[in-house]
Structure 1
């Protein structure tokens, strides 16, 4: 089994948009098979995430955003995190993406990436992070709750062409 200590975190660049998209699509395909339409996951998610990450990484406002890639000592990507300051948000910094690739789950990738996002948000002078997780994504919900995140509400959303419910979780940064 790979050790978490063999991980390094590096800032993502515009050149990493395809890698981010690939990891994002792979994560959704592994995690959301019972929550989103199979046709979306099999045929559309890769192109949709590629367009999303290309636009996101090229968009202005990179100083409000942290995107890190976790790499094994072999250089292989193991996951990524994206956090973004949301001016005017009552919830704080959005932890918009936290993905450990399925083959690397359980070795501390998610915890390392989450901790980096928390440290970055603190350095930005923020007091809280928030995230959304799909209702029914029990493993992710359990992971966040074990890390000290608390449920704070739900919102309707749309993903993969269907209506879904997104559960909002918050994390106070004064926790240590």
Structure 2
């Protein structure tokens, strides 16, 4: 297993560990609470922090994909030693040799509208493009837009991966070159 000390983080040593993603670790409630990698034949578990979106790190991974993960050694558990090394997840640094970009940063998508998307209460709240991306627009603003099936859309705003990994969701702040104004007060 290749360990590289990365930096100190509040008295914790942060290590970069190279390996192959094997699988997600599920919580008793069905969520994803961590992941396992094989680091040159040695299993290493990474535990996600409660209450944040660390689980989004595994959305675009599949067994056999090479990764570099940064983490710090987990404190001993009251239940005793585990079956393998356990680390507190800090970040997914590399996927198959490429740097991982923060998908929550502003992004831009472009494509043709293939369907409308609807909020739980039934009002249109955006569109799905032929690229698989979902452009989210609050229903009160979407109603004022002239968008139909087949319309070419360019949108920018903060983004993140869709849960099924098919594309990204963009919370549109600009659509077809026009800023979307904030909700009227």
* TM-score (norm: length of structure 2): 0.28
Please identify which structure carries the higher strand content: 2
Which structure shows the higher helix fraction? 1
- Ranked by relative contact order (alpha carbons within 8 Å, sequence separation 6 or more), the top structure is 1
